[in-house]
Amino acid sequence: MIDTNTQEKRQKLPMQGVPQPTREEVLKLPRVHISTHPVMAHKMTALRNKHTSSAEFYQLVKEVGALLAYEATAHLALEPWEIDTPLERTTGYRLAGGIGITPILRAGLGLAEGFREVIPDAQVWHLGLKRDERTLQAMEYYNQLPHKVDLQICYAVDPMLATGGSAIDAVNILKRKGIKRISYVGIIAAPYGLLKLSQAHPDIDIYIAVLDEKLNDYGYIVPGLGDAGDRQFGTF
C-alpha cells in the first residue's frame, strides 16, 4: 500500500502550510452533487478498506461508476423515437446526441467501465494525465480524443479529486476540443480540489460519491482510499 512507505521516501511536502477550505465551506458551492445513496456509502467503506484486494477494488470502482452514472445522467436530453412493438407503432425516446466518457488514465478506467454498463453506446475518449508527486502538477502523456466532435455531453471521469490539477487540465482539454457541455465525475473529493475545480470551471456539474476531510502534506486525500490507480491495477 502506498501510504506510509512511499510517502516517507519523498523529500518534499508540497501541501505543507497550504491553506485548505473546510468541508462546510465547499458544501455551499453550486453545481456540486454529492451522492446520498445508502448503497454508495456501503460500497465506499469496502473501497476505503486497505484489506480489500485489487480485484475486489476494481470491481467496486466499476459498481460505484455505474451508480454515479445513474445520478449524473438524470438530466440528459431525450428526443422522440418511433418504434414498432410486437403489437403496434409507438413513440418512445432515445438520448439526444452522442454521449462521451473521458477516463483520465489510469485510475479513470474502472469508473469508465461502470459508466459503460449504464450507457453502452457512449464514446470513450482516453486521456492520459500523470500527477508529478513532488510538484503535484499534472502532465499529459496520452490523448485519443477524436477529430469529429458531436456530443450532447462529455463526462470526465477520475476517482480522485485531490488538488484538482488533473481535473482542471482535463476539462480545459475537452473545452479546447469544442465540447459545450461537460460534467466531472469522481469518487472522492478533497475540499481543496473541489473548490479549485469549481472556480476554474464554474460552468460544469461535478458529481462525487463523497467529500473527504482534507489533503495531507503530500497531497493525498484523507481519510481517502490511497492511490486509486495502484489499488485498481495492483502496482504497489
Active site residue 121: no
The smaller minimum CB distance to ligand PRP, of residues 7 and 152, is found at 7
Strands (E) located in 13-109: 32-34, 78-84, 89-95, 98-105
For residue 18 the three cell numbers come to 497550504
DSSP string spanning 141-205? EEE---S---EEEEEEE-SEESSSHHHHHHHHHHHHTT-S-EEEEEEEE-HHHHHHHHHH-TTSE
Would you call 135 a catalytic residue per the annotation?
yes
- Return the C-alpha cell found at 157: 471521469
Contact 69, 118 (CB under 8 A): yes
Question: Could you say whether residue 164 binds ligand URA (CB under 6 A)?
Answer: no
Site string for ligand PRP, 45-84 (x = CB under 6 A): ----------------------------------------
Give yes or no: 90 in active site: no
Select the span of 10-18, 74-82, 147-155, 225-233 touching ligand URA (CB under 6 A): 225-233
Q: Which residues bind ligand PRP (CB under 6 A)?
A: 104-107, 129-131, 136, 138, 158-167, 193, 219, 227-229
The catalytic site residues sit at 131, 135, 227, 230
- Residue list for the binding site for 5-phospho-alpha-D-ribose 1-diphosphate: 106, 131, 158-166, 227
